[in-house]
Structure 1
Amino acid sequence: MKKFAQLAIALTMALALLSAGLWLWVQTNTTGIFIESEESKNPQLESVFNEIRWFPGADRDVWMMNQSHFGRKPPPEKWDRIAIVIDKTKSPKVAYFYQFKPGPLEWNEDLLKQQIPYRASCFLCHNNGPRAIRPMTESSSAPLTLREKIKTAWWNLRIKTYGRVRYDAAEDREDAHREVPFRFRGPPHEDELRVGVCVKCHQNEGLFARGTLQRQQRGTIQHMVEAGHMPPPGFALSQKERSELQDFLHGF
């Protein structure tokens, strides 16, 4: 029994050291991740490319992204520079969304003076703050190294552990003056998804809450289901729920 306890302690310590070593190995590479997006397409149904960086902090995390709808190497002015800042001092956490003039993925407070109007409605894809990073598998245009694949998994784990994230209430006030709003209002845009297996997580309150989904997010919902990302492992749509989901996606 004593030997078993010693073995258990040794294995626990080894696992802790391995985890710490893996974390250091990933974090010592301070560059971002460049991916061909599995999900996003431009209006011509061509690939969208994203460069992503995470700046962790004690009270807030900053996620920045340069996004190209014009191929892998467009002119500098064609990149969309976006940021999501997570305020970790609030419960639930609050996400602040920004779009900036094109430039490098480097965070500083002066960037707030370089804000420009949104070019797309953030809420269509981001009902719960930052989303998991999903690169195109085996991309020939933006292949990932082993370290980058591990970093992607590590970053996705961080995103998942935020739990419920709300957007800043100021977005609702400022939308009155925007050409492209943060989110759309009124029916049918705000019609809520009520499929049973989906609302186990997609609700506004509770331990596993990830925010309700609305009809304005139907493009994202459809992709996640068709790609097999949703429902997550351990859950499945019944035939009745699948029919209800299709009705929702098609406006019924």
Structure 2
Amino acid sequence: NLGYPNEYDRSLGHTGAHLMVHGSCSSRGCFAMTDEAISELYAVVREAFAGGQRAVQFQSYPFRMTPENMARHRQDPNIAFWRNLKEGSDRFEVTRAEPGVGVADGRYVFDAGDEATAGAVARKQADDERQVAALVASGTPAVRLVYEDGGQHRSFRETMIAAGGGLGEVSRPEALAAGPREVAMTASGPVAVAGKREPVRGAVALKPAGPGRTEAERQRLLKIFAAAGSGQE
């Protein structure tokens, strides 16, 4: 239970009805995680509950809120919301403590009224803005990531290639094979689809068909990954 819809979602009429945490899909609206990531989260939450906590704070970001990423995604349609999220991330980076989260005027507010750390947070934000401006001035391109039904983390694609479908049934293997693409952005919108795709490492041959996977399905997956690797749409 991730606590959705939270106060912010409710203020905008969002339900959060399609939020899930699991693996083995093409990440259509899901938080698809590796075993390593979910094991770490499980251990932290387990110890928190064992210590008497009834809940833990959960924050979801589109990427690490670094100046480099903020510069690259500066023309994304969601950038205003992401800058609002970065305010919470900045407070955590400065204090290393969970920020108090509230909602006012349709946006998140963090540690409202906390003057003790406000100066340090403001200095970090100003320094980040200077770095963003310098990166833009130096020619850092503005991009937007475009996913085929989510795309997923590349480790899932590598596992599927190497294990011949070891992820189990996947909703859209062709989307998993393709991975994200970068779209160059201007102030007026997207201008071109860049040819950059995340590389797929590891074995390139699927194992023989096993239980639950026919030879025809194996051949279909081979064609999908071959097309994705050659850049075909």
**Which interval holds the TM-score relative to the shorter structure?**
under 0.3
More strand by share: 1
- Provide the TM-score with structure 2 as the length reference: 0.24
More helix by share: 2
- Provide the TM-score with structure 1 as the length reference: 0.22
Greater relative contact order, per chain length (Cα 8 Å cut-off, separation 6+): 2
